[in-house]
Chains A and B, each alone.
Chain A
Amino acid sequence: MNEGMSLIVRTIARWVVGFIFLYGIYTLVYGHLSPGGGFAGGVILACAYILILIAYGRRFAFKNLDWRIARSLDSIGGLLFLVLAFLGLLFLTNGGAYFFANFIQKLHPGKPFHLFNAGIIPLGNLAIGIKVLASIFVAVALLSALRLFDERGERSFESMEEEK
């Protein structure tokens, strides 16, 4: 998948990828009001990056989002989710604090059917969306760079990860 595809595929991919990205962000952010949420939004965003990977080749796609940065983004998303869970223990001090408490909803409740509402749930969706996007992009990118046969037709194992 080092080189991309033909001109028609590249043109249509360039037009469509913006809409896929926007739809992924919409599904993620409005997760507490309408079907969707962190998982669906994260996988849709990953599909946008995979479309660029398939249509334009590896070199262009890694200029957009490098796979090493995606690996760190994966860990950052998971850590953000964990920190969000621990903040509930820190903030609610008047007895009634537990792990994963929705402290934002208890301290500053919002109006129903509004966007900035439901406390910790949109932030949790965001963390999960970042994590799922990075995980799926890294998995597909590494599998696409794998070659099992070298030029002579013999069996080898060429991948992108160097040996330490």
Chain B
Amino acid sequence: MFELLVLILVFMILAGVLAIEADDLVSAVVSMGAVGFGLSACFLLLRAPDVALVQIVVEVVILILLLRGTIGMGIETVKGHRDRAGMAGGVILVVLFLALALYVAVELPKLGEPGFVRFLDSPSWTYLKESLSLTGATNAVNAVLLDFRGYDTLGEVIVLFTAVLGSIALLRRKHRQEKKDE
């Protein structure tokens, strides 16, 4: 299973490189979809079926939004990289980040020993042991999401509401700013 995970990750990296370097926007969006579906396969291998289900369906909606919202509008598009100074600064940033992250990554625990096994007072023990007796739900992820951590779900509902409200407000026919300028 570990080799399969590494193989899918290499596929995702190659698809990601193709997504950002492709000239044609349709190829870039399809490669981004490939990264998303590979991610869902990784979630299934890591024993997270709930998250894999949500990731597949959300990836389909993201593909619909990107393909219809930007490429289906008939806009001629611009290709290529930024100017020299911007790209030099950017590459230095990425190399710096990679060096710092590699310096920290040696402290990460081995794959297969999560936090709640090493620390015996972590909340995940309560979530696993008491999810049936305290909430009556047998899906521990749903019990955590809606009973033990319901406040975070309320915050997520508010964020989704705000994002769609802002999107509706931006799509009005004549924006008020333009009316004031005339």
Contact = CB atoms under 8 A, between A and B. Distances in A.
Check whether chain A touches chain B (CB < 8 angstroms).
yes
Interface of A: 1, 27, 31-40, 43-44, 46-47, 50, 71, 74-75, 77-78, 81-82, 85, 99-100, 102, 105, 109-110, 112-113, 117-121, 124-125, 128, 131-132, 135-136, 138-140, 142-144, 146-149, 157-163
Contact of A47 (B50, B61, B157): B61
A47 B57 contact: yes
Given A31-B139, A43-B54, A140-B65, 4 more contacts: A31-B142, A37-B50, A143-B171, A149-B73
B48 to A, nearest CB: 9
A110 B74 CA distance: 56
28 contacts: A27-B53, A32-B142, A33-B138, A35-B50, A35-B53, A36-B53, A40-B50, A81-B157, A85-B150, A100-B147, A100-B151, A105-B134, A109-B136, A110-B136, A118-B135, A118-B143, A119-B136, A121-B143, A125-B142, A131-B157, A136-B61, A139-B65, A148-B74, A149-B73, A157-B173, A158-B173, A161-B173, A162-B172
A34 B134 CA distance: 18
Interface in B115-152: 132, 134-139, 141-143, 145-147, 150-151
Nearest to A131: B157
Given A121-B137, A121-B142, A143-B69, A128 B157 contact: yes
Contacts of B138: 32-33, 112-113
A131 B50 contact: no
